[in-house]
Structure 1
C-alpha cells in the first residue's frame, strides 16, 4: 500500500498530537506510527489508500485544538503493509 512519512513542526508535543493522529488514522483505515522527535517535531509514518493519506495529511496540518502546526513535510516511502497504529 502507499506509504508516506510526515514530519510535523510547531507546537506539536505535549498537546495530544500523537493520540489525535492515531484516532484520525484509524478512522481513515490508515496504519502506521507516530513518535516525538528530540528536536520537538512529530514523525508520522502512515500506510493506506492514497485518498486516506491525503485526508490524514489535511488533519496533520490542523492537529488537535492545543496544537500550532508550523509545517508538514511529506515524503513518499516504498509501499509497505503495516497493521494497526502505534504511538512510540
Structure 2
C-alpha cells in the first residue's frame, strides 16, 4: 500500500521530518518526507496495511511541538523505494 500525504498545520520547524523518518524506519516503511514551500510536509509512504495504519496514526500526532490540523491522503501506485529518506 502506498499513500501520498500532505500534512497541514504547524509541522515545519518542529522536527517533523526527522521523527517521521525514525517512525517509518521502525515500521519498515519506505518512501520520503520533505518540507514544502507552502508550510506543509509531503510524505510518500509505502508498506504493509498494518504498518501503514500505525504510521498514519502517528502522522496525525507528530512529534512534540507539532500541531497537525489535517492530512490530505491520496493512494498512489507502489514503487521500488530504497528505504525512507528525508529530502532537504
TM above 0.5, yes or no, is: yes
Query: Aligned residue for 1:52?
Result: 51
Larger mean CA deviation between 14-23 and 77-86 belongs to 77-86
Query: Aligned residue for 2:40?
Result: 41
Query: Aligned residue for 2:82?
Result: 83
Structure 1 unaligned blocks of 5 or more: none
Aligned structure 1 segments of 4 or more residues deviating by more than 6 angstroms:
none
Aligned residue runs from structure 1 range 4-23, under 5 A: 4-23=3-22
Residues in 1 aligned to 2:82 and 2:28: alpha-carbon distance in whole angstroms: 10
Q: For the aligned residues, what is the CA RMSD? A: 0.7
- SS in structure 1 of the partner of residue 34 of structure 2: strand
User: TM-score by structure 2 length?
Assistant: 0.95
CA deviation after TM superposition for structure 1 residue 3, in Å: 1.0
Structure 2 unaligned blocks of 5 or more: none
